[in-house]
Amino acid sequence: MRITLEPVDGVHVTTLIDNSSDALLPDEGLVRRWGLAGTAGPLPVVPNGMSLGGRAVDFLRAEHGFSALVELVDGDRRRRVLFDTGITPDGLIGNLDRLGIPPDTFEAVVFSHGHFDHVMGLDGLARRLGRANLPVLLHPDFWLRRRIKGPDGIFEFPTPSRPAIEGAGFTVVEDRQPSFLLDGRLLVTGEVDRTTPFETGMPPAHQAYRDGEWVPDQLVHDDQAVVLHVRDKGLVVLTGCGHAGIVNIVRHAKRLTGVDRLHAVLGGFHLRPGPTVAPSVQLLTAEAPAVVVPAHCTSWQAQHALAAAMPAAFTPNAVGSRFEL
C-alpha cells in the first residue's frame, strides 16, 4: 500500500507525560525546555505554608507512561492532536494546566495501544472537557484484557472501557489499517508490519484474554505510531511504546508514504536490556535521522547506546520538552 501524506511546514511535539522530569535541562537546538534553564515557559507560583512569604514553585509531574501534544504548523495555521494520555487520572490534565495548554484545542486523540500507562489519563481529560465529542482513534485490539503472569504472581492490567469512553462523549474510530487526520497531513500507521527477525515484542509472560482463555500476546498488534512529513526535511515518527519495534515502525512509515528520508523519531522505543538493543541501534543509525528522542520504556542501556551511536542527533527527553521540527 502506498499513500500520499501531505507535507507540512513544521511539527511541534511537546512531551506531556514521560518517565522523567528535569527542571535543569537547557534549551538546545530544536528543543525548548520548561524549567529553570529553559525558555518554553515560566515556573508557576503556588501557595506553600513552609516557605517564607507562603509561596513556592510548581513543576511538571513525571509518570511511568507517555503522552504528547502534536502540533501541526502549516503557514499561519496550527492544529493539535493528543497522542496517548499517560497512566494516572490527573497527571495529564495537571501538566496541561501547568503548561498553559487548553485541552479544548485538541481536534482528536490517538492511542498508540491499549496498555494502561498510555490510556488512563483520559479520565481527567474527560472530566475537564465534558462531552466534547472528540474522535478517538485506536486499533480494535485496544480493548483486550491483558496481564503479566510471572513466577511471583499475576498482575492484570487496568483495561480501557468502551462504554465508559463512549459514555463520556468520545467518538471511537477503530481501524487496523492506516488512517489520516488533519486533511491528510497526519498519518496513523494502523497495525505495523513485523519484518525484522530481532524485534520480537513482549516476553511470553505478557498475555491477552481471547476467546475465553489467556494466551501469549508477545506482538501487541494494536501498537501504532503517528507520522508526519515536514517539507524538505523528511518524516517525523512519533511512537508511544514501540512494541512493534522501532526499526519495523520506521520502515513501515517509509513504505506507506514512499518518503525515504527520516527526519526525526521520538517516543517510547521499548528497548529493554537484551539482544534487541544492538541491531536496533545499528539499523536506526543507518537511517541517519537528524533528531532521535528515546523516551518512555527505553532502558538506560539503550539510551547510552543511542547517544554513543548518534551523538549529534540524540536528545534526552523530559516532561515539558517542546521539539520544534
Residue 284 has pLDDT above 80, yes or no: yes
Q: Is the pLDDT of residue 1 over 80?
A: no
CB 136 within 8 A of CB 143: no
What local confidence, expressed as pLDDT, does residue 203 receive? 94
pLDDT score of 155 more than 80 = yes
Going by their DSSP bridges, the two strands 146-150 and 206-210 should be labelled as antiparallel
| Structure confidence at residue 170 (pLDDT) | 97
The overall average pLDDT reported for the chain is: 96
In angstroms, rounded to a whole number, what is the distance separating the alpha carbons of residues 207 and 229?
Answer: 35
pLDDT band at 43 (very low <50, low <70, confident <90, very high): confident
What is the per-residue pLDDT for 289? 98
Confidence of residue 216 (pLDDT cuts 50, 70, 90): very high
Task: Supply the pLDDT for residue 132.
Answer: 86
Residue 145 burial (C-beta neighbours within 10 Å; 0-12, 13-18, 19+): middle
Q: To 5 degrees, how large is the angle CA 193–CA 198–CA 200?
A: 65
Q: Taking residues 215-225, what's their average pLDDT?
A: 98
Q: What is the pLDDT of residue 3?
A: 87
Confidence band, pLDDT 50/70/90 cuts, at residue 41: confident
pLDDT for residue 130: 92
Q: Would you place residue 13 in the very low, low, confident or very high pLDDT band (cuts 50, 70, 90)?
A: very high
Helix, strand, coil content of the chain in percent (nearest 5): 20, 30, 50
What is the full DSSP assignment across 17-28?
Answer: E-S---TTPPPB
- Do 244 and 217 touch, CB atoms closer than 8 A? no
Residue with cell 497526519: 186
Locate the DSSP E strands across the chain.
Answer: 10-17, 31-32, 45-47, 55-57, 67-74, 77-83, 106-110, 135-138, 146-150, 153-156, 171-174, 179-181, 186-188, 206-210, 213-216, 226-230, 234-239, 262-267, 291-294, 322-324
Percent of the chain predicted with pLDDT > 90: 96
Beta bridge mates, 150: 153
pLDDT score at 9: 97
**Tens-place pLDDT, residues 120-135:** 999 999 999 998 889 9
Residues 321 and 25: beta-carbon distance below 8 Å: yes
- Model confidence at 185, in pLDDT bands (50, 70, 90)? very high
Q: According to the model, what pLDDT value does residue 303 have? A: 97
Looking at the predicted structure, is the pLDDT value of residue 76 above 80?
yes
Which pTM was predicted? 0.97
**Per DSSP, what are the bridge partners of residue 181?**
186
DSSP string, 294-308: E-TT--HHHHHHHHH
> Residues 187-193: what's their mean pLDDT?
98
C-alpha cell at 303: 539510551
Q: Hey, what domains does the chain have and what are their CATH numbers?
A: 10-40+57-324 (3.60.15.10)
